[in-house]
Structure 1
Amino acid sequence: MDDSDRLSALRQELRRSLGNERYELWLGPQTTLTLADGVLQVGCASQLEVQWLRRNLHEALASCSATIFGSSPAVEFAATAQPAQSSPAAGSEAATLKRAPRHTRRKQYCPSQLSLDGIVETPAIPQPAAALLAALPEQAAERKRPRWTFEDFVVGDSNRMAAEAARTATQQLGRFSPLLIYGPSGTGKSHLLSAVAAMGRASRQRPRVMQLTAEQFTAQFLEALDKRALPGLRQKTRSLDLLAIDDVHFLNNKRATLEELLYTIDAVQSRGGQVVLSSDRPASELQAISVELASRISAGLAVAIDPPDYATRLGIVRAMSSRMDIAMGEDVMQLVAQQVVGSGRLLSGAINRLVAASMAARKPITFEIAGGAIADFCRQHSPQVRLIDIQKAVCEVFGVESTSLKSQRKSRSVAEPRMLAMWLARKFTRAALSEIGDFFGRRSHSTVVSAQRKFDGLIAERGEIVVGDQLCQVEEAVRRIEAKLRTA
C-alpha cells in the first residue's frame, strides 16, 4: 500500500471516528494530509485553524493514524495560506498578548474569525488580529497528559455513585473487584475508566496498570495465539495491579477470548489487584454473554451510570466550552443544557454546531444565534416521532386518557400533561404551532408558545409536576416519556 492509499484509508477512518459532519467541517478538502519520514503533516488554511485542530483533533489524528499505519506517527500542523503582513501596531499587540496571562488571552478567541468552510478571508481579520493569532502559544493539548481524568469528570446525581466507586477502587486496589460501570452510550463510562488508569499510573506505589477496550483485548489475544506468544501475553496481563477493560459486551460469542479474560480476572484478583469493567448493560443481562463473567461481577460491585440530568449537562457544557476556549454566555449554556437532552457526545456535537453557526454568521455566539442552531440540531438528532406518538407516550406516563389532552379541562392533572405534550411536540417534530394547537384540542398557537415557555422555565428551575398521584421532577417525567418514544 503506497502513501496515497494509506492517507486515503486514514481519511476514511477519521470520517468514521469523527462523524461525517465534523470531518467535512475541519478535515475536508480545505485540509491537506501528507506523510513524510514518519511524520503526518496537516496543512490548514489559516493559523487559527492550526490552533483549533491542534487543540481539538490532535488525539483523534494520532489514534486513527495508529489504527491505519500500525504505529502513531508524530503529527505536525502548518498554515498553508500566506500570513497577513503585520503592522507595527500589530507587533506591539502580539508582544502584549505573549506577556498576558492565559485567561486574558482566551478572551481574544472569537469563532466569527473563521468562515464556515474553514478558510480565513483577509477582510474578516484585521492585521492586528492576525498578529494576535500568530502569537498564540502552543496549546496544552500538545502536552503529555491523560485524555480524561477524575478532575475533568462532571459529577451529578446521575453519575455520582459510579464516580465515587471508580475513585475508591483506584485508591484501594481490590476493594471493589471486579467493578462494573454500566449505562447507555455517551454517559461517561470510558471517561471513568481512563480516569481510573490515569490515577493508578500517577500513584506513588506505581502499580502496573493497563487500560484497553474489549476489542483490543481480543485482538491482542488472537495475535498472541496466532504467533504462539500466549505465555508472554499472560505474563503481561496476569501480573497487573490494575486492569481496566471497556465495553465487555463486545465479547459476545467470543468464547475463547472470554475464557482468557476470566482467567486474567482471577489472576489479577488473586494478587490483590483491581479489575474495572464497563458495559452498556447490567450484570443480569451479561449472563447471556457469559454466566461465569456475570457471576464474578456479582461478587464485586456493579454501579449504573445514567444519562446526565439538567444540572450535570450544564456542568458538562461549561467544562467543554472552557476546554475548547469558546466564548459563550451563561444564557447560551443554559439553553444548550435545557434543549439537548442526552449524552455528553450529543452536547459536544451541539457545541460544535454553535461554533459553526457563529462562523457562518461571522458573529460571536449570541443567544439569538444559539436558539436557531440548537433548534435545528435537536430536530436532526432527536428521534423522528409523530404527534400521536407523543400523545400516546404522555398518556402512558401520566395515566390519563388521550381524550383528556384534547378536552377543555383545566385541572392540573390534565393541563400539565397537555402542556408538556406541546413542549415535546416543539422539540421532536417539525409541526407548525397551529398544527400542534389543532392536534391538542384546537388551541391557538399562542397557547403552544406559552406551554413551551412554561416548561423551559420549569426545566431550568428543576421544577416539579404531578405524575399520577405523586410529585415528580420535570426532567424525570421527560426522561420517562422520551424512553417511551425511543421504543415507539
Structure 2
Amino acid sequence: MKQIPLPIGVDAEPDFDNFVAGDNAAAVDALRRLVIPSPPVYLWGPAGAGKTHLLAALARQLRAEGARVGWFDAETPLPWEFDEGWWLVVIDGAERLDAERQHAAFALFVESATHGAQMAAAGRLPPVDLPVRDDLRTRLGWGQVHAIKPLTEAGTRAALRREADRRGIFLSDDVMDYLLTRFARDLGSLMTLLGQLDRFSLAERRAVTVPLLKKMINEESGHA
C-alpha cells in the first residue's frame, strides 16, 4: 500500500523530550548541552531518522531562551539573507541544495562566523560524501558531526506505544503490525499516521482497529 501524505495537525512540537533517542543518546545530549556559539554541528543519517526533529528541538530550546533562529532548506526561496539578530542558523537537507543555494549556504557560514551565530545542518550523507562545493563541504564537516541512526523495530514499537498511551489510544498488536508492514517504517511517518488515526477515530466515535485504519486510508485516497 502506498504511503499517503497526511497532515501533522496539532501534534506536539518537536523537542528533545519527545525525541526517542534509541542509539542516538550521545548526539541528543551534545545538542542539549551545546554552548552558543560553537563550531558548526552536522547531523547525518537516512530519511526519517530524526535529523529535522533534532534541529527543530535545538531551535526551540534556543527560542525559549529568547533567541532568534534562521531556517533554510532546498525549498527556501532565494536570496538567503543573514540577520544579525540570529543566534542559530539551520540548513536542512544539505544534499539537496542546488548550486545557487550552495553558494548562499556558504555565505551564511561566513556571516555566522563574523557575527557569532551558531550553524547547524543536516543531510542524508556524511560531509565527505555530500554532492556540494568543496568549501561548503569543509564548513559542514568542520565541527561536531553526529550520525543519527534510525530506531530498531523494537524501538519503533515502543515509541508508538508510548505515543498511543499519551493520546489515550489502545493500540492492539494487530494495528501495530499493520502499521509496520503496510506503511513507511520511519518513525516520523508513523507518528504522523498515528495522529491522523487518532483524530479519525474521534470523528468516527470508534475504537482504533485495523478496519478503521483501512477506512481512513480509503477515504484519504478517494476510494471511500
| Same-fold status (TM-score > 0.5) | yes
Post-superposition shift, 1:213? 2.6
**After the TM superposition, which residues 164-183 of structure 1 pair with which residues of structure 2 at under 5 Å, given as runs?**
164-169=29-34, 172-175=35-38, 177-183=39-45
CA distance in 1, matches of 2:46, 2:143: 21
Matches within 5 A, 1:138-287: 147-157=13-23, 159-169=24-34, 172-175=35-38, 177-203=39-65, 206-216=66-76, 219-221=77-79, 233-234=81-82, 236=83, 238-252=84-98, 254=99, 256-286=100-130
Aligned partners of 1:156 and 1:311 also within 8 Å: no
Letter in 2 for 1:247: G
Match of 1:348 among 191, 200, 203: 191
Matched, 1:308 2:174: no
Q: Note the C-alpha offset of 1:298.
A: 2.5
What amino acid does structure 2 have at the position aligned with 1:192?
L
Secondary structure of 1:276 counterpart:
strand
Partner Cα separation in structure 2 for residue 201 and residue 353 of structure 1:
28
Cα distance between partner residues in 2 of 1:356 and 1:257: 38
Per the alignment, in what secondary structure is the counterpart of residue 70 of structure 2?
A: strand
* Backbone CA RMSD of aligned residues: 3.6
Distance in 2 of aligned mates of 1:316 and 1:296: 34
CA distance, structure 1, for counterparts of residue 102 and residue 31 of structure 2: 23
Encode CA deviations 1:168-202: one digit per residue, 9 max, x unaligned: 33xx1133x21111111111111111111100011
Aligned partner of 1:293: which letter?
L
> C-alpha distance in 1, partners of 2:73/2:119?
13
| 2:9 corresponds to | 57
Larger-gyration structure (1/2): 1
The normalised TM-score by structure 1 is 0.37
* Identity level (%): 24
Contact 1:190-1:278 at 8 Å conserved across structures:
yes
The residue that corresponds to 1:49 in the other structure is none
Structure 2, gaps ≥5 residues long: 218-224
Matched letter for residue 9 of structure 2: L
Mapped to 1, the partners of 2:164 and 2:207 lie a distance apart of 13
Q: Any runs of at least 4 consecutive aligned residues in structure 1 with deviations exceeding 3 A, and if so which? A: 322-325, 331-341, 348-359
Q: Per the alignment, in what secondary structure is the counterpart of residue 345 of structure 1?
A: helix
Aligned twin of 2:220: none
SS at match of 2:149: coil
Residue type matched to 1:316 in 2? A
Q: Note the residue ranges of structure 1 that are not aligned, 5 or more in a row.
A: 1-17, 24-55, 59-140, 223-232, 378-488
Give the deviation of 1:333 after TM superposition: 7.5
In 2, Cα distance between the equivalents of 1:244 and 1:212? 6
Structure of higher RCO (CA pairs closer than 8 Å, 6+ residues apart): 2
CA drift of 1:161 comes to 3.2
User: In the alignment, residue 150 of structure 1 is paired with which amino acid?
Assistant: F
Normalising by the residue count of structure 2, what TM-score does the alignment of the two structures yield?
0.74
1:293 aligns with 2:136: yes
